[in-house]
Amino acid sequence: SYELTQLPSVSVSPGQTARITCSGDVLGENYADWYQQKPGQAPELVIYEDSERYPGIPERFSGSTSGNTTTLTISRVLTEDEADYYCLSGDEDNTVFGGGTKLTVL
């Protein structure tokens, strides 16, 4: 089955740029999505099809994919961006989430 690998944590200061990566062979053949999850809440779609921003998501959020790695970039990070971020990819028979990255805004 597919696997997606994410670093457990990323820390940035407010105003800086955060880059959260997700790696896996499945990314070479399938789009990736990114979800933001704040404590006690359901995940919310942030980026779909590698780089498309979901309606209502600030332009500070962007996505890109190169080879087997997809990256969520958050520019000018705000304290409200502190959350867990999960990548998702795969086909309909094997949809897989990454292990999640906790973004801490110091």
Partner 1 sequence: QITLKESGPTLVKPTQTLTLTCTFSGFSLSTSGVGVGWIRQPPGKALEWLALIYWDDDKRYSPSLKSRLTITKDTSKNQVVLTMTNMDPVDTATYYCAHRRRDWGYFDYWGQGTLVTVSS
Binding stretches for partner 1 (CB under 8 A): 1, 31, 33, 35, 37, 42-45, 48-49, 54, 86, 88, 90, 92-100
Shortest distance, CB of residue 14 to partner 1, whole angstroms?
A: 26
Shortest distance, CB of residue 100 to partner 1, whole angstroms?
A: 5
How far apart CA 38 and CA 40 sit, in angstroms, is: 6
**How many CB atoms sit inside 10 A of residue 64's CB?**
14
> 22 or 74: whose CB is closer to partner 1?
22
Tell me the sheet residues that pair with 52.
Answer: 48
> 24 or 90: whose CB is closer to partner 1?
90
Q: Phi and psi dihedrals of 105, rounded to 5? A: -105, 110
List the structure tokens of 3: 């696997």
